[in-house]
Structure 1
Amino acid sequence: MSRTQTHDLTTRGTDLNELDRDELSTAAEQYARNVQESHVESPIGDIELARINWKASSQLCRSGAYCETELDDPPVHTIVLSYPGYRAWGWDRMTGVIRHELAHVVVNEQFGDEVRPHGTEFRDVAESLDAPMRGEGPIPYRYKLFCSRCGSMTDGLYQASDRTRNPWNYTSSCCQAPLQVETEEMWR
């Protein structure tokens, strides 16, 4: 993100590591414009960024983001960012995820569905954007459930549930003992 755009967000009292879901989408859209402006040798310059819809999902937990492309004429793209991923990794690491998804936009526009998602064509575009080839690792669970008898982890959850609020009402499959819960806050 350019200094001006960063300044615009922070003067509104927004820390780039403390964005809400809507602000994350807006910041990603601004960052994409900066990527396009700063990577003039990349094929990202041929992409009309207005045809990218940006969303942030609280439910996307298995990856940092994904790109869907409707191969209309012209193509329309939707990039869905993982809000839990952003919360776990912060803005600096999320920018790599955004550049990775922008590389998918370029490849989808140039080749449609005729190439592998992370094939040679993708690799070339990703390099031109200084984008990581692989996304971030799995998003850490917010809650971990353990057997109170043997200590084995029995499950990991991204959202609060009755099992995380009342673990003693549930038993482990290993020892049939009550569950214990650890939260993300306990690991810091």
Structure 2
Amino acid sequence: MTDGEEYTLADEIVARARIHAREVVDEHELAVDLSALEWEVSARARRRAGACQWHADREVATIVLARRAYERYDWSTFAGIVRHELVHAWEFQQFGESGHGDRFRKRAGALAAPRYCDAFAEPRYVLRCLAGSCDWCAKRHRASKPVKSPDQYRCGGCGGAYEVEHTKSGRTWTTASGYGGAKAALGDDW
């Protein structure tokens, strides 16, 4: 940094993640080309603590880390997210694709990286099956089509009907008009 410039939280996150990545690659002999790895911090991410994007045209992976996750988690948990995304980068660099299958699970296990990362923000909506014998539920952070028109979709577990709950208010609906009514009733509290 030059005179007058200050380090930002994003700079701190990237610096710590790069140091950890170097340690992981060296200690576990993970074949990740760190020179073909870019780092970004998302100030907007609310669901995903991290993501790894593959740019096949440049053969570069970009690891995007969520600032909110860094602020919420302790370093040990956040370092697990960095290792998780490094496994994706390794898969992209070695195989041109990545997922959460057997190959990922095996490599993540060797690095003590979680296979999936916990959500770090409370969902805005929860979808719950109405069938008494089904315990399916799904969390949503945005008003997606299944949130706005639940009567047009089915439960992911049994195929039955479900309701949507606005978590902040506790209001529920099962139809598009119910969504509109809840939104209108809540006004600024939506």
- The two structures share one fold, judged by TM-score above 0.5: yes
For residue 85 of structure 1, what is the aligned residue in structure 2?
69
Q: Tell me which of 92, 98, 113 is aligned to 1:131.
A: 113
> Contact 2:50–2:85 at 8 Å: present in 1 too?
yes
Q: Tell me the C-alpha RMSD between the 2 structures.
A: 2.8
Structure 2 CA distance for aligned equivalents of residues 64 and 175 of structure 1: 32
Choose between structure 1 and 2 for higher RCO, CA contacts under 8 A separated by at least 6 residues: 1
After the TM superposition, which segments of 4 or more aligned residues of structure 1 sit over 3 Å from their partners?
174-181
Deviation string 1:52-78 (CA, Å, 9 cap, x unpaired) is 1111110111110100111246x2110
For residue 102 of structure 2, what is the aligned residue in structure 1?
120
For residue 37 of structure 2, what is the aligned residue in structure 1?
52
Paired residue secondary structure (1:176): helix
For residue 176 of structure 1, what is the aligned residue in structure 2?
185
Q: Pick closer, same or farther for the CA change 1:72–1:179 going to 2, 3 Å.
A: closer
Q: CA deviation at 1:136?
A: 2.1
Structure 1 CA distance for aligned equivalents of residues 170 and 49 of structure 2: 24
Gaps of 5+ in 1: 1-13, 142-150, 155-171, 182-188
Q: CA deviation at 1:100?
A: 0.2
Paired residue secondary structure (1:63): coil
For residue 100 of structure 1, what is the aligned residue in structure 2?
84
Tell me, yes or no, if structure 1 residue 38 matches structure 2 residue 49.
no
Paired residue secondary structure (1:132): coil
Q: CA deviation at 1:38?
A: 1.7
Deviation string 1:1-34 (CA, Å, 9 cap, x unpaired) is xxxxxxxxxxxxx9xxxx7111101110111001
Aligned residues: 132
For residue 152 of structure 1, what is the aligned residue in structure 2?
169
Counterpart of 1:21, as a letter, is: A
Structure 2 CA distance for aligned equivalents of residues 131 and 177 of structure 1: 41
Q: CA deviation at 1:175?
A: 8.6
Gaps of 5+ in 2: 1-6, 124-167, 172-180
Paired residue secondary structure (1:152): coil
> Contact 1:56–1:80 at 8 Å: present in 2 too?
yes
> Contact 2:72–2:120 at 8 Å: present in 1 too?
no
